[in-house]
Structure 1
Amino acid sequence: MRSTYKQLYYINRSKIKSDGTTSIMCRITIDGKAVTLATGLYCQPEEWNSAKGEVKNSRINGMLNEYRKRIDDTYDNLLKVNGIISAEQIKISMTGEFNVPQYILQAGEVERENLKIRSVQIDSTSTYRQSKMYQYYLREYINSLGKKDMLFTDITEEFGNNYILYLKMNYPHKPSYRNHCLCWLKRLVYLAVDKGILRFNPLDDIKYEKKPQTKLMYITKNQLQDIMSHPKSDPLQELARRTFVFSCFCGLAYVDVQRLYPHHIGTTAEGRKYIRTYRKKTDIEAFIPLHPIAEQIISLYNTTDDSRPIFPLRYVV
């Protein structure tokens, strides 16, 4: 089926040059998605006929007709080669801005580079690190099919189902991890849809596996009392126990407790201690009055030297 395709010329009235001319722009719309291109042609605003998309100057009109013909030829050529067409593809062919990855593993590496840049911006590398394994399993599966990579146009629903089956047969992962692997695969295919390589995601109908019911969603009051009443002989285990109890009474995540320094502790006019800090995940300030038990625990550690955190927690980056 031939796409709904149209062109529209207009002038950019927001940017007028010193000589009074403004640029003529071209908007290409295919199946409801539009892109804008600069034609490189200029005219006086009063010479522009918006109803006809023409200029009074016949020479510029001739150049516009040539530009229109070039777009039509590009559209026909891409349609013959790819079978599908998008406004973004025409823009890329006309301007030569960049090449859209046509292969799924190639697109995965590009997306990982984007995640790497994003990880620096948000100061969190978890998604980038996890994508390494998702990309590894996808590559391993495609290699098991005797291929180095696969075109997006060759991806089918059967391919996605067989990929999940491959993971089940070869790796003892939980359903939640397989869901993450499938999510990575769908993510790459959705990117291909956004770039106009595919018209739809053939993996849309593949359902994620149901996660088994979590055995422990929370601890009870009795369980917390049991933890509090059984100190550990090992110093590191005892530090972990106290840190956990402190977190329970303060509602802070482990990373927030890890980032606590003496300057985060304050005292109200009534003499009650509190914590004022910014949460790592949300960067929202939290004001937490200290429970007597939490205050007792914190008094056992560093509350004076602001060059060191309060709790001497050890962790692996």
Structure 2
Amino acid sequence: MKRNFSLIFFLRKAKTDQQGLSSIYMRITVEKKRCELSTGKTCPEKEWENGKVSGSSSRAKTLNLYLHQLETKLHEAHRQLLLMDELITAQTLANQFLGKTDKPRMLTEVFQDHNDEMEALVGIEFAPMTLLRYQTALRHIKQFLTEKHKIKDIDIRKINHEFLTDYDFFLRTTRKCNNNSAVKYIKNLKKIIKLCLANGWINRDPFANFKAKVKVVERPCLSQEEINKLEILEFGNERLNRVRDIFLFSCYTGLAYIDIYQLKRSEIIIRNSNERWLITSRQKTGTPTRIPLLPKAIELLSKYENHPLCVDFDKAFPVSSNQKMNAYLKEIADLCGIGFVLSYHIARHTFATTITLQNGVPIETVSKMLGHKDIRTTQHYAKTLDIKVGKDMAVLREKLTTAPVKTTGVSYNYTITK
């Protein structure tokens, strides 16, 4: 975008020496933002008028000619920035005028620096999966730059609204991302842009008029009948039985895969007259989680008390990798006749919906046990099932049927006028 500038010369009276000479400064203004530079010249205040030296003396003519040359040089600097399609601000114009050519900040370099710092903080402030998502986002950016712009990197000052819309289109077409995945990768890029803004490397936010919204996705969960079928079915295969047990434990506690993988026996404690509680922190957010264990969860725990891996490493369960767990759960779903793809995260939705909310547990309590910081997150997990709606309406129907009809004994007369 072409930006005009204004230039004035003025005396800085605070820089007046003992001989009464004040320093002459030049003020560059672009979109109400200023940058002031010394001209290296001085002038008595009484000889200064309307931005130049008054009078016709040879000294006045020499000084005014010098100031005019500075103005011409500044216009040339402005023209050079326009030719290079650089962002024009008071500071960049001053730098060009002074011959200061800062090395441009490049997008993938800044992104990589961010990822390197994040990697050093994995386990302290960030989860491994968070790092993996940003690493994937950087690969998408590099592919986009190569295929769309035929370049390996881009100056962050050249990222604009058009760049963002093109990248969003690339994610949805070339990368085949669904809406929510595309929005997440866009948000990863937005964090890098905010980092650049905070450091003063860019002066405008390209995301100012860019909107990308996550769509609410219908989250499947197991019904009580499907949970019962899982519990009673024996697979004749130790591997599938173990995966089923660990999955069911999450159905009764709401733990995510990474939390059940890291769960230690020492995090199961006894409170309140022999009640067993699970007290841990969510790996994703670090939020404390305290869950009173249901009898079926305790029963599942006891099955693996003597498992060698659990005994040697203080593990609650011998958990396989997330990929293997999900692969085995697909086998289990086929054997049980479950009509959708069964993944480990469905256990968390099942706890929120079928185990707790459907049985009258308040959503505030469910949110606390799930370790959510915002109850709106819990609302995304928990859907109101038709069976719960039916039960609630049945109670209302009973109240309306049995409630006596009260009459006030007051009659009303209505007159209809034509």
SS state at 2:122 partner: helix
Instruction: Kindly indicate whether the alpha-carbon contact (under 8 Å) linking 2:145 and 2:151 is maintained by their aligned counterparts in 1.
Output: yes
Distance in 1 between residues matched to 2:212 and 2:278, nearest whole Å: 41
Quick check: 1:107 aligned with 2:110? yes
1:132 offset after TM fit, Å? 1.8
Aligned equivalent of 2:155: 151
Whole-Å separation in 2 of the counterparts to 1:142 and 1:106: 13
Please list, as runs of the form range in 1=range in 2, the aligned pairs for 1:131-146 lying within 5 A after superposition. 131-144=134-147, 145-146=149-150
Q: Structure 2 matches for 1:120-269, cutoff 5 A?
A: 121-122=124-125, 124-144=127-147, 145-208=149-212, 211=215, 213-268=216-271
Q: Please, which of 66, 70, 73 is the counterpart of residue 37 of structure 2?
A: 73
Determine which of 289, 307, 311 is the counterpart of 1:305: 311
Q: Tell me which residue corresponds to 2:320.
A: 314
SS at structure 1 position matched to 2:299:
helix
Q: Secondary structure at the match of 1:73?
A: strand
TM-score by length of 2: 0.50
Structure 1 residues 47-86: aligned runs within 5 Å: 72-73=36-37, 80=78, 84-85=88-89
Deviation of the 1:191 alpha carbon: 3.2
Does structure 1 conserve the Cα–Cα contact (< 8 Å) formed by 2:269 and 2:279? Answer: yes
Task: State the partner residue of 1:48.
Answer: none
What is the Cα deviation at residue 121 of structure 1? Answer: 3.1
Identity of counterpart residues, as a percentage?
17
Rate the CA distance shift 1:100–1:301 in 2: closer, same or farther, 3 A: farther
Match of 1:273 in 2: 276
Match of 2:277, SS state, is strand
Aligned to 1:119: 122
Q: Is the 8 A contact 2:144 2:170 kept in 1?
A: yes
> Matched residues in 2 for 1:208 and 1:270: separation?
51
Unaligned runs of 5+ in 2: 7-11, 28-34, 40-73, 324-418
Change beyond 3 A, Cα 1:278–1:201:
closer
Q: Name whichever of 237-246 and 150-159 sits farther off.
A: 150-159
Aligned length: 262
Q: 1:43 — aligned with what?
A: none
* AA at the equivalent of 1:310: A
The answer (yes or no) to whether the contact 2:127–2:284 under 8 Å persists in 1 is no
Query: By how many angstroms is 1:100 displaced?
Result: 7.2
Which structure has the highest helix share of the two?
A: 2
Higher-Rg structure is 2
SS of residue in 2 equivalent to 1:121? coil
Separation of aligned partners in 1, 2:199 and 2:288: 40
Contact 1:104–1:150 (8 Å) recurs in 2: yes
* Range 124-133 or range 80-89, more displaced: 80-89
Paired letter, 1:241 = R
**Equivalent pair of 2:26/2:38 in contact (CA under 8 Å):** no
TM-score of the superposed pair, with normalisation by structure 1 = 0.64
Counterpart contact for 1:276–1:286, Cα < 8 Å: yes
Contact persistence 2:104–2:155 (CA under 8 A): no
How much does 1:242 deviate? 1.0
What's the offset of the Cα at 1:311? 0.8
Q: 1:188 to 1:225 in 2, by over 3 A?
A: same
Q: Residue type matched to 1:132 in 2?
A: Q
Q: 1:278 to 1:139 in 2, by over 3 A?
A: closer
Alpha-carbon contact 1:89-1:195 (below 8 Å) kept = no
The amino acid that maps onto 2:164 is G
Where 2:37 maps in the other structure, the secondary structure is: helix
